[in-house]
Amino acid sequence: MTTAPLGLTKAPAPGLANPVHDAQCIFKAAMNALARPGTLQTLHVTNLTAPHPLPRTMAALALALLDYDTPVYLDTPLAKSRDVVDYLRFHTGAPVVDMQADAAFALISTPEKMPPLSGFNVGTDEYPDRSTTLIMAAETLTNEAGPLLSGPGIKTTTQLNAAPLAPGFWHQMSANQTLYPLGVDVLFASVDQIAGLPRSTTISLKEA
Amino acid sequence: MTGQDTDMFSEHYNFAYLDEQTKRMIRRAILKAIAVPGYQVPFASREMPMPYGWGTGGVQVTAAVIGSDDVLKMIDQGSDDTTNAVALRGFFIKTTGVKATTKTSQATIIQTRHRIPEEPLTENQTLVYQVPIPEPLRKLEPRETETRKMHALEEYGLMHVKLYEDIAKYGEIATTYAYPVLVNDRYVMDPSPIPKFDNPKMHEMAALQLFGAGREKRIYAVPPYTKVESLDFQDYPFEIQRFEEPCALCGAENVYLDEVILDDKGGRMYVCSDSDYCEERREQGHLGHMAANPIAEPENSGPRA
């Protein structure tokens, strides 16, 4: 994968209308999503225009969380888009990296074709926080089907289903949990909702 | 999304004092802390316009989390009107313009120094603790490199030895505050210097708990409904403090009480440490045995002719 050379050919789309308060709202939704895994947190970012193919909610999360301290991995459709790369570079200053393992954040616009989760950074025994947080696009997010989730932040159990997903995603996520306290954390972003799936969440896959 | 109307407070400071890059850095640390309950995430703590030890960690966490529609409650040892609480509440009113309250039930963010409110917290609340020494193993092992390794290897034998030595010396576990807890069956965590009376409240609390240590540059968290176990032994189970008498003002039992010395003849009274809880109970008509109006006492009844 090659990223576009520096230098803008056209003005990037505008960022958050109100950088202070919008970023706080977006962060709060992300915080609640990870603190209460599986719950759907409403996030209205209708005033944000993100360049295609970067979904608006993902763009909002990126603008609220990324900066020059956070190397970011983009999946192929995003990395191929000059507009997206310029937009993220201009607004966040985050270095775009080619290696999954180097990334503090990963933006996945096409989860059905995403690279295996095991390629991302899971942190180290002494610094489990030095891991990748994945921000994944979802067309639909529901609590009505999907694997059973339990663990910190969940009173008893809950269900979360996101679509589309790679066929082995839930198995990979379940393997990710066995690494605890190491592992990656996932934020799903649909058009107006986000949901969190931190490494601490136990995933039980129903037997087919 | 909120509008511009709250920006009138940010004429001199950015909303909530911190610059946006600092807030992003703290916010990322908070997200990691939530994902690994009890693990201390290092963060680039900033100089704040108050000395270390005044709650710079808690203030930075609150500043990163707070929004213009939040309602803030600030307590110091359970009380809304002690120096630390008043100073920090003033700081946030000035830099954010948010509403402040003393009512536990009305607050969305409660920043606390060394107490958990008596009233159970709810799902839409966040409790922010001010933490002096985040490392529970620090007094047993001074080197950060070693304690970090001990956490990585889940090697907490030293802590149990310390608790055992208490039993050998005093016949009981003598730790009464900052009593170590095991979070989500993995990390031993310092609950900040809350009395051990409050430890059971942390277990499966409905509210999100965030901890900030400014001088030591650590943030950690306990998500809602997370297992928080106080360390103990089968034959010496964990016990909370018990009080002989109820609150002298509101008659509350099973709450944490402060001892107030009344004179130099041994006179004393025990009152709720949670001032809001005590006031609310008195408003509801609960009266303790010393709750008489002091003005009504004959020796206080106004100037004498």
| Among B71, B129, B60, CA closest to B97 | B71
- Provide the domain limits for residue A64: 19-142+165-201
Predicted local confidence at residue B3, as pLDDT: 44
Q: What Å distances lie between residue A132 and A117, A128, A198, CA to CA?
A: 10, 10, 11
Cβ <8 Å between A126 and B152: yes
CA B154-B157-B162 angle, 5° bins: 135
If one compares B290 and A38, the residue with the highest pLDDT of the two is A38
- The 3-state DSSP class for residue B228 equals strand
pTM higher than the cut 0.80: yes
| Contact list, A27 vs chain B (CB under 8 Å) | 23, 27, 64-65
- How many CB pairs (< 8 A) connect A and B? 128
The domain spans of chain B are 3-230, 242-292
Q: Is the pLDDT of residue A5 over 70?
A: no
The per-residue pLDDT string of chain B (305 residues; one tens digit each, 9 = 90 and over) reads 444 444 455 467 899 999 999 999 999 999 999 999 999 999 999 999 999 999 999 999 999 999 999 999 999 999 999 999 999 999 999 999 999 999 999 999 999 999 999 999 999 999 999 999 999 999 999 999 999 999 999 999 999 999 999 999 999 999 999 999 999 999 999 999 999 999 999 999 999 999 999 999 999 999 999 999 999 999 999 999 999 999 999 999 999 999 999 989 988 999 999 999 999 999 999 999 888 655 555 555 455 44
In a domain, A156, yes or no: no
What DSSP state is assigned to residue B46?
A: P
SS3 for B195? strand
CATH 3.40.50.1820 fits B3-230, yes or no: no
Indicate whether this complex's ipTM tops 0.90: yes
Which residues of B form the catalytic set? 38, 247, 250, 272, 278
**Average pLDDT over chain A, rounded to an integer:** 94
Q: Is A77 a domain residue?
A: yes
Confidence of residue A44 (pLDDT cuts 50, 70, 90): confident
**CA gap B260, B262 in Å, rounded:** 6
Which residues in chain B have Cβ-Cβ distances shorter than 8 Å to A194? none
Cα–Cα distance for residue pair A141/B43, rounded to 1 Å:
32
Number of separate domains in chain A: 1
Task: Please name the member of B1, B23, B123 whose beta carbon is closest to the beta carbon of A18.
Answer: B1
CATH number at residue A37: 3.40.50.11310
Specify if A10 maps to a domain.
Answer: no
Residue percentage of chain A with pLDDT more than 90: 90
In a domain? residue A36: yes
Residue A208 forms part of a structural domain: no
